[in-house]
Structure 1
């Protein structure tokens, strides 16, 4: 038998088939690579948020992403960022990360500035420095930037405050704002909330007791420091208003503690009462020049809606319930004070 050689036509056909298969495979691989670069999961679970500072450029963002392990493949992220023109569209903010986000979804979020708002809560902070430190942990400005404005007479004057009473502008609540809010924007927002609180009706209530809104808040800070229970606030507010109307010194122990700066004091002894300070209401008549703490909204309302009575003295109850014994005369007050001092001695509380 003669050996038959394969026809040249058959060989060419096999070549074409093989070539097509290779092209399809190559296209398939290219498609997979393309898909993974754009749509494949790339964000890790190592960070909950990506913070981009106001002065940051793309290189800063990229460095943060690499250092914090935010994406699994930084090369594909970099490729996608350039192809989506994100390099020139960096926007500051606090961005929530979700594990498995693709490069495309991540970059779209960052480039559009779709950051997550911050729920900023504050209340009961005693000092401006504490307040500045707390706020700086919630939004971008540091505590130095915030305290510098609180202590700037020129800056706070534009809002009608002094550096001593500006703390009354901040009404404790929960406020939603963006992380990259500047310190100036923060103050502007807080003043807007302050104005919203001080409605014409509330201003009228303040005027009825011959106090300005600022003075109401200063008095409220003393009431808040005295009252452990909110239901007693209107009675305490009425007592201090009685003393102010009669020109009697307030003689509020919390103002003495504030004047000393020693907030570990549990028993206000006679030696503390002579502390030289405009905040010491045992030495000075009238309200202190500023609040001794950030008053709660309930304390402010308690001053505006104070309870009318004839009390001018108060002393903590000897049962340590947090409530007070009230009196209209010195003799009654001295008896109340004696019982409380005896209870302190029995518990070994000396200072």
Structure 2
């Protein structure tokens, strides 16, 4: 009886050992399979494939989207194990992710955990007015549209600045955005960037600058931006306007007149435009305009508060297409410069008329 019990016990031990060996082997095989899955490039992806993780997506939902892209690699359990081990399931970042050829599941998990989303670019151009900015935002893809139906007043209220005029309030720069971002997000960043840039410029202003506030600096910078074809001339143009402000001389700058004409401007300024009074006509009114007329860049902001010294009160374009200006201290000198400008323009137009037509 005792020997029978011993045989049974040995059998049980052998079975247990075999079970442990089998389990260990299965575990080792499973681990090797998991490791191979995690570091093997995904198959079935098309060219320029992407994966969008939306707000509220679970990892299971993201995996279904990945399967829909044609990825058949790995069992769902392997994907969930990898997500847990990398912490992706708990730190899934919203956005659009690139799925380039050769990407591995481990790299994809790391991208989603770190939020390495695809970024797009939106460039706000120096000198744009608010109409141009909003039109460019409406055309930007894949930027989500949240403000397209709002008027300017409602737009500023939505950005947290009710009652503020939108002109000049957004800093010209290139802004990166992801598919989950909206036009409101981009505008909020551009507004904050302008406030910071304006504050920095105002803090670094010259002690004798003829401006009473950062708001006035923003207005003057917008006029400088629209008058300047060459970046290096901004301080000189700022100097002309600063001297005119000091002596109470009208700024007499065409871009302000154009802004006052608004969307009906057809590309030409006529004598009646210069004599028709509007809040933005600096020929009929002295001082600065009531608001900015465009989005000034950082260089224009710095020029407005640090104008170049000198005695010039006038400037006019050279007329050769270079964007350069001639600066004059007296009206007689200025009139002579204007005559040269008109002569140069006539020669340029005549040369264009005699050029053979391009086939």
With normalisation by structure 2, the TM-score equals: 0.67
Of 60, 71, 92, the residue aligned with 2:94 is 92
On the 8 A contact 1:164/1:290 being kept in 2, the answer is no
Q: Aligned-pair RMSD on alpha carbons?
A: 4.5
On the 8 A contact 2:34/2:78 being kept in 1, the answer is no
Offset, 1:316: 1.1
Which region of structure 1 is more displaced relative to structure 2, 213-222 or 179-188?
179-188
Match of 2:71 in 1: 73
Offset, 1:248: 2.8
Structure 1: give runs of 5+ residues left out of the alignment.
1-22
On the 8 A contact 1:318/1:343 being kept in 2, the answer is yes
Match of 1:3 in 2: none
Match of 1:39 in 2: 39
Partners of 1:132 and 1:171 in 2: CA distance: 14
Match of 1:342 in 2: 343
Match of 2:16 in 1: none
On the 8 A contact 1:39/1:103 being kept in 2, the answer is yes
Alignment of 1:1-351 (within 5 A): 34-35=34-35, 37-42=37-42, 44=45, 46-47=47-48, 50-54=51-55, 61=62, 65=66, 69=69, 72-74=70-72, 76=74, 80-83=78-81, 84=83, 90-111=92-113, 113-115=115-117, 122-124=124-126, 126-132=128-134, 142-145=144-147, 148=150, 151-152=153-154, 153-154=156-157, 158=161, 162-165=164-167, 167-168=168-169, 170-173=170-173, 180=180, 183=184, 187=188, 190-191=191-192, 194-195=195-196, 198-199=199-200, 202=203, 204-205=205-206, 208-258=209-259, 259-261=261-263, 265=267, 268-274=269-275, 277-348=278-349
Offset, 1:74: 4.0
Alignment partner of 1:326: what SS? Answer: strand
Which region of structure 1 is more displaced relative to structure 2, 245-254 or 47-56?
47-56
Offset, 1:75: 6.3
On the 8 A contact 2:252/2:283 being kept in 1, the answer is yes
Partners of 2:285 and 2:194 in 1: CA distance: 32
Alignment partner of 1:239: what SS? Answer: helix
Offset, 1:126: 0.4
Number of positions where the alignment pairs a residue of Structure 1 with one of Structure 2: 320
On the 8 A contact 1:235/1:307 being kept in 2, the answer is yes
Offset, 1:134: 5.2
